[in-house]
Amino acid sequence: MDTLIELLAVDIDILEKIEPSSVKFRSVVSPATNVIRIEFSARQVNTETEVYRIDAFKYWANLTMTPVLMEYIGERYLIYNHRLNCVKAIDEPMNNWVTSSCNERNWADNRLAKWNRVITVDDPYTERANTSWKETFTHNYIYCFRLMITVDRETRKCPPFVFKLNNTVSWNTTDTAYIAR
């Protein structure tokens, strides 16, 4: 009965913050009657930091001067510490964990700001236009500048920036139709 009481006295909250796939058993010993000591090592989950894969859109910039089609060429993964508003580029994770950290308040890694000019033109409307969109669990992110979009039977010009629609909403452009599921 004493063993059960000691086991219940363990700080269970700390066990909830470990990554199960990282647990490594070390030893089990009984240093005294009714006492069992289990040793293991594990990686603790940082609840303040998330890992993201970057999947950027090509977009038209400098629309009030000489328009330029821009393409992202920076790093493909990042970590974001939402408590500190800190963002840092990382290599592609090879495990279920990342050992990098981002601990400087309001810091942004300049490796994430690398864009390349694809083409410079006088009038972007002379270039071929197409819809780019990415679907997530809850939203569609859409870039259809220079095209028309219809949402709920209302048609309007696509804005010159990426926007999101709930993925329960059907929409269509000249070259793409999305039917909500």
- Regarding whether 109 and 59 lie in a shared domain, the answer is yes
Q: At residue 26, does pLDDT exceed 60?
A: yes
Cβ contact 145:158 at 8 Å: yes
Of 136, 39, 137, 49, which is closest to residue 97 (Cα–Cα)? 49
Residue 5 has what pLDDT?
46
Distances (CA, A) of 4 to 8, 33, 35, 130, 174: 6, 13, 9, 65, 67
Q: At residue 1, does pLDDT exceed 50?
A: no
Q: What is the pLDDT of residues 72-124, one digit of tens each?
A: 999 999 999 999 999 999 999 987 778 889 999 999 999 999 999 999 999 99
- Regarding whether 80 and 136 lie in a shared domain, the answer is no
**How is residue 18 annotated by DSSP?**
B
Residue 70 has what pLDDT?
97
Q: What is the pLDDT of residues 38-85, one digit of tens each?
A: 888 887 788 899 999 999 999 999 999 999 999 999 999 999 999 999
- Regarding whether 118 and 55 lie in a shared domain, the answer is yes
- Regarding whether 141 and 169 lie in a shared domain, the answer is yes
Q: What is the pLDDT of residues 152-181, one digit of tens each?
A: 999 999 999 999 999 999 999 999 999 998
- Regarding whether 132 and 104 lie in a shared domain, the answer is no
Length of the chain: 181
- Regarding whether 50 and 36 lie in a shared domain, the answer is no
- Regarding whether 28 and 57 lie in a shared domain, the answer is no
Q: At residue 3, does pLDDT exceed 60?
A: no
- Regarding whether 54 and 81 lie in a shared domain, the answer is yes
- Regarding whether 112 and 55 lie in a shared domain, the answer is yes
Per-residue pLDDT band for 11 (boundaries 50, 70, 90) equals: low
Percent pLDDT > 90 in the chain is 69
Show the 3-state SS of 38-50.
EEEECCECCCCEE
* Domain residue limits at 58: 46-123
- Regarding whether 59 and 111 lie in a shared domain, the answer is yes
Domain boundary among 123, 154, 170: 123
Q: How many CB atoms lie within 10 A of CB 32?
A: 9
Residue 62 has what pLDDT?
96
Return the amino acid letter for 55. Answer: D
Q: At residue 7, does pLDDT exceed 60?
A: no
Domain count, the chain: 3
- Regarding whether 95 and 56 lie in a shared domain, the answer is yes
